[in-house]
Copies of this chain bind each other. A is one copy, B any other.
Amino acid sequence: MKINVMTDILEANDRIATANSEAFKENGNLVLNLISSPGSGKTSLLEKTGDALKGKLRLGVIAGDIETMRDSERLQKHKIPAVQLTTGSACHLDANMVASALPHVDLKKTDVLVIENVGNLVCPAEFKVGEDHKIVILSVTEGDEKPLKYPLVFRESSLLLINKIDLLKYTNFNLKEAKANARRVHPDLEIIDVSCVTGEGMDEWIAWLNRQYQKKFGTKPRA
Contact = CB atoms under 8 A, between A and B. Distances in A.
A167 to B, nearest CB: 6
A37 interface: yes
B149 A38 contact: yes
A67 interface: yes
A208 interface: no
Interface in A138-182: 139, 141-143, 145-146, 148-152, 164, 167, 170-171
Main secondary structure of the interface of A (DSSP, over half): loop
A39 B141 contact: yes
A77 to B, nearest CB: 15
Contacts of A146: 38-39
Given A121-B119, A123-B122, A167-B167, A148 B67 contact: yes
Interface in A106-120: 118-120
Contacts of A164: 141
Contact of A145 (B68, B118, B142, B148): B68
A40 to B, nearest CB: 8
Contacts of A167: 141, 167, 170-171
Given A122-B123, A164-B141, A149 B68 contact: yes
A131 interface: no
Interface string A167-201: 10011000000000000000000000000000000
A65 interface: yes
A111 to B, nearest CB: 28
A66 interface: yes
A148 to B, nearest CB: 5
A105 interface: no
A104 interface: no
28 contacts: A37-B38, A38-B121, A38-B149, A38-B150, A39-B139, A39-B142, A39-B143, A39-B146, A65-B149, A66-B150, A66-B151, A67-B151, A68-B145, A89-B126, A91-B120, A91-B122, A119-B122, A119-B149, A119-B150, A120-B122, A120-B123, A122-B123, A123-B123, A139-B141, A141-B141, A141-B164, A141-B167, A167-B170
